[in-house]
Amino acid sequence: MLAGTPPGRLPTQLGHHDFRAANVLCAGTEVVAVLDFEEARFDHRVVELTRSAVLLGTRFRDWGPVPAEVHAEFRRGYESVRPLTPDEAGWWDVLLLWHALAMVPPGDDPTGWGPAALAGLSAEV
């Protein structure tokens, strides 16, 4: 997968780096606040996006992966406002897998991060 990534420069910006359900407050269908900026830093925009796609469904307990369809819908929603550059799009699947693998706990995996990451890997291979 890495061999197929583009060599171009990726845009950077200030990112939250912990954008997930537990840090987003909603009223109905509207986002009214984003909390917890202690991990904010400058990084590649696509790194923030893929991490957010992986962590979308996580809260404070029993963190589990969201389906690939949720990742795709998150990306479509983002790109309806700001399309990814061709280089960012070329890194999307690699970074999505990277963040999914980072969530696999040592030992028991009661919420299924390992199988979800393997499903993402086998979809790409």
pLDDT tens for 22-33 read 888 999 999 999
Q: 70: burial class by Cβ within 10 Å (0-12, 13-18, 19+)?
A: middle
Say if 25 falls within a structural domain: no
Residue 24 placed within a domain: no
Residue 7: inside a domain? no
Residue 35 covered by a domain: no
pLDDT the model gives residue 73? 93
pLDDT at 2: 87
**Domain annotation covers residue 31:** no
Domain-embedded: residue 81: yes
- Tally of domains within the chain: 1
Residues of the chain predicted below pLDDT 50 = 125
Q: Is residue 40 part of a domain?
A: no
Write out the residue range of the structural domain in which residue 112 sits.
46-124
Contacts of 111 (CB under 8 A, 6+ apart): 62, 63, 64, 65
Q: What is the pLDDT of residue 53?
A: 92
Q: Kindly report the three-state secondary structure assignment for every residue of 9-45.
A: CCCEEEECCCCCHHHEEEECCEEEEECCCCCCEEEEH
30 in a structural domain: no
pTM: 0.85
Listed in sequence order, the residues at least 6 apart from 21 whose beta carbon sits closer than 8 Å to its beta carbon are: 56, 57, 58, 59
Q: What is the pLDDT of residue 122?
A: 66
